[in-house]
Structures are given as structure tokens and as C-alpha cells.
Amino acid sequence: QVQLVESGGGLVQPGGSLRLSCATSGFRFDYYGIGWFRQVPGKKREGVSSINLSDGATYYTDSVKGRFSISGDTAKNTVYLQMNSLKPEDTGVYYCAADPEYYGLGFEPYDYWGQGTQVTVSS
């Protein structure tokens, strides 16, 4: 049974940093794509970053390039999203998602989702 559990969210001031974790189980970790998405009320879920765990290729939406970094730890079956220089517009619920055949920033192809973790950037 595929499970994804996010953690690491919280309240941070603008310019601060957070590291989100997506702990996974129930599938062959290095065969999958993992994406991070965020959602605010009234808006569509937005792809923030993703990683193809089979070759390490990473992808970022333009608004987070140079500030966010995604990585995978095969020993822990965990994907991290390091978020630096956070801005108020980064606020939202962050979800990780997994799929055996897709690793892009679109949310529809992903088969498996975590429950989300809240990130609030505010002074």
C-alpha cells in the first residue's frame, strides 16, 4: 500500500527557510516520480517542484527557481523540499505526490497523494 506523509510545515517570517519532508512507503522508491504541490483556497493546485528518482532530474516552477531545492534520499525513502528566501506568496498547503510513470509539474497524472502540510509565510 502506497503511503506518503508530509511534515516540516509551519509559520515562518518572510526571508526565512523551511525544509519539508515526504516520507514514502509501499513502492520501489527509485522507480517513481515525486512532485511537490501547493494549494491556497480558491485556487488550483500548483506544481512547485518534482524529481525523477530514477535519474535524479529535477524540475521547478519559475517562481521558486533559485530559492527551492528538491532532493531524494534512497536510504530513507524520503523526498525533501528545501525552501529558502520564503515569500508571503509561498503560503499554502503543500502536498507531495507519487507516480510510477510521471514526474512533471502537472497534478492530474499523479496517482498517490499525501495529506498535506501547512506553510504560512507572514510577519
* Grid cell at residue 91: 503560503
Contact (CB, 8 A) for 94 and 81? yes
List, as one string, the DSSP characters of 70-115. EEEETTTTEEEEEE-S--GGG-EEEEEEEESS--SS-STT--EE--
With a cut of 50, which residues of the chain have pLDDT below it? none
CA 8 to chain centre: 11
- Report which DSSP code applies to 41: T
The Cα–Cα gap between 94 and 74 comes to: 21
Per DSSP, what are the bridge partners of residue 49?
A: 36, 60
Contact (CB, 8 A) for 121 and 16? yes
Output phi, psi for 62, to 5 deg. -55, -35
Run of H or E including 74: none
**Predicted pLDDT of residue 50:** 98
**Predicted pLDDT of residue 112:** 96
Mean of the per-residue pLDDT values for the chain? 96
